[in-house]
Amino acid sequence: MSKITHHIPEEMLRAYAAGTLPQPFAVVIAAHVSLCDACRASVETEAALGGALLSELAPAGLDEGARDRLFAALDTAVPPPPPLRGSGIFPAPVMEALKGQPPRWKMLGGGIRQQILSADGEGSLRLLYIPRGRAVPEHSHGGLELTLVLQGSFSDCEGRFAAGDVEVASDDLDHQPIAGDEGPCICLAATDAPLRFRAMIPRLLQPLFRI
């Protein structure tokens, strides 16, 4: 993997460590952190600081039946399955979102494909496959978008993003990502609002493709 040069902002790493991010963004950050030593160290530092703060809080009182209810719940709890490992270009958090299966791509046009991994009130999480040298339709954003490159690269007005890099796009960014010439670009993208396409055809197809 090439050297990672585009990282997660500190405030987002702090929210990730605190467990307050929507699930789609948390998956993207978990995947990036699994690839990036610098951001992983930041998350570990934030978690340690949070633990230190909790240790200084006064203990909360529990009612008399709390202990019995806890042990009863432990007796009936089903152990979680072992965590999935990474596979190929997909880190373990992505494999968990894929439920251990290879991507099931759906064509968007022009050779571009996607698989929606989740979509609900918190936002959407998807894998994107962009052929070599192909451009995504020009668009802006109705909210926040995090895009992690898993394979290949893409370039836009913000620079070049290679494997492991993350682009943080807010509602003031209007761009047209273009996949690099070295091969197809595969990305993991999370959004909390629909994209805003400039061209008519992508706008018409947007409800069908759920972008």
Q: Domains (ranges, CATH) in the chain?
A: 1-211 (2.60.120.10)
Alpha-helix runs per DSSP H in the chain: 10-18, 23-35, 37-55, 66-76, 92-97, 200-209
> What pLDDT score was predicted for residue 10?
94
The pTM assigned to this predicted structure is: 0.83
Q: What confidence tens digit (pLDDT) does each residue in 1-39 have?
A: 568 999 999 999 999 999 999 999 999 999 999 999 999
The burial of 31, by beta-carbon neighbours within 10 Å (0-12 exposed, 13-18 middle, 19 or more buried), is given as buried
The residue ranking higher by pLDDT, 131 or 49, is 131
DSSP calls for 155-211: EETTEEEETT-EEEE-TT--B--EE-TTS-EEEEEEESS-EEESSHHHHHHHHHHT-
In this prediction, residues 83-100 reach a mean pLDDT of 92
Per-residue confidence at 55, pLDDT binned at 50, 70, 90? Answer: low
In this prediction, residues 188-197 reach a mean pLDDT of 88
How much of the chain, in percent, has pLDDT values that exceed 70? Answer: 84
